[in-house]
Amino acid sequence: MAQAGPVPHWETFYASDDVVRHYARQSRLQLPERAIFNRIGPALSESHLLDLGVGGGRTTMELALRCKCYLGADVAAPMVAACRERFAELILNHGLRFEVVDARAMPFEDASFDVVLFSFNGIDLVGADARATALAECRRVLRPGGHLVYSSHNLNWMDSRWGIRWQGLRNYIETQRFWSQIQRINRSVWPIVARDWVELIDPLAGGSNCYIRPLELVRQTLEQGFEDLQLYDLRGRQIDDPQQQARLTDPWVYVHARASR
């Protein structure tokens, strides 16, 4: 595919004014996030929580006042600046913190947090070779038994191609258009049906996105020092059966796991 100028990196995309404004307007947990944090329950009130890949603060209002200590972090400095402006009162009155942080090399001491949330598929943007590093960093900064909550693009969705966000005919048209674009841009790695994971160029921003099968997602997480893992679909349902996990076709799925004790 011909490119007009260099392909932008995700850091550039998430630093643009329009994207920052878009994410700074969001303020609702997704259904699996809500289900997982309800499961964590009263323990959240005494926790030190790292909201990694915080973006414009979509999860901040829901979580910051439910935990003992809240730190929002993002690799994009403009996102962090937007959060500091958006939540200035909470920073002043409740001690919230927002910092620029790279998930692959976090500037925190070992066992600093009880909960790490890495939401909205942020781990898929670090590069396929760095996924293990990011997971290992999450394990390092968690206390033994601490909670990791994160989401990741589901490669099964590329096989099924069901809806992205719209309803009815528009849902079908936009989904097919997105799939056609991503297949055309990434024709050098097609077919993908036999792959456990693949790194694909996103047609919107030009950055690389990792898509991964659910069972491979489970394997990678356990390999980096986690246990008691649960997988959630986008309706907030916990999926325990490995055969059902393998057949999940949601565009992305959520993981809740505990740092090995």
SS3 category, 38? helix
CA distance 64 to 43: 14
Predicted pLDDT at 166: 47
Residues 249/162, Cβ–Cβ less than 8 Å = yes
174, 97: one domain: no
Residues 44/37, Cβ–Cβ less than 8 Å = yes
98, 143: one domain: yes
111, 19: one domain: yes
Does residue 96 sit within a domain? yes
54, 126: one domain: yes
Predicted pLDDT at 202: 81
CA distance 204 to 141: 33
Instruction: Determine how many CB atoms are found less than 10 A away from the CB of residue 105.
Output: 10
Dihedral over alpha carbons 194, 198, 201, 202 (to 10 degrees): 90
CATH number (domain holding residue 139): 3.40.50.150
Query: Degrees (nearest 5) of the Cα angle 226, 256, 122?
Result: 95
77, 163: one domain: no
pLDDT in tens, the chain (261 residues): 222 333 346 778 888 899 899 999 998 999 999 999 999 999 999 999 999 999 999 999 999 999 999 999 999 999 999 999 999 999 999 999 999 999 999 999 999 999 999 998 999 999 888 999 999 999 999 999 999 999 999 999 887 665 455 455 555 666 677 777 888 888 888 888 889 999 888 877 778 889 999 999 999 999 999 999 999 999 999 999 999 999 999 989 999 999 998
Does residue 166 sit within a domain? yes
For the entire predicted model, the pTM comes to 0.89
135, 235: one domain: yes
Does residue 252 sit within a domain? yes
167, 66: one domain: no
61, 124: one domain: yes
64, 24: one domain: yes
Quote the domain boundaries for residue 185.
158-201
Q: Which DSSP letter does residue 213 get?
A: -
CA distance 200 to 207: 8
132, 249: one domain: yes
Predicted pLDDT at 70: 98
Predicted pLDDT at 2: 28
Does residue 54 sit within a domain? yes
108, 93: one domain: yes
Does residue 5 sit within a domain? no
Does residue 3 sit within a domain? no
Q: For the chain, what is the domain count?
A: 2
121, 217: one domain: yes
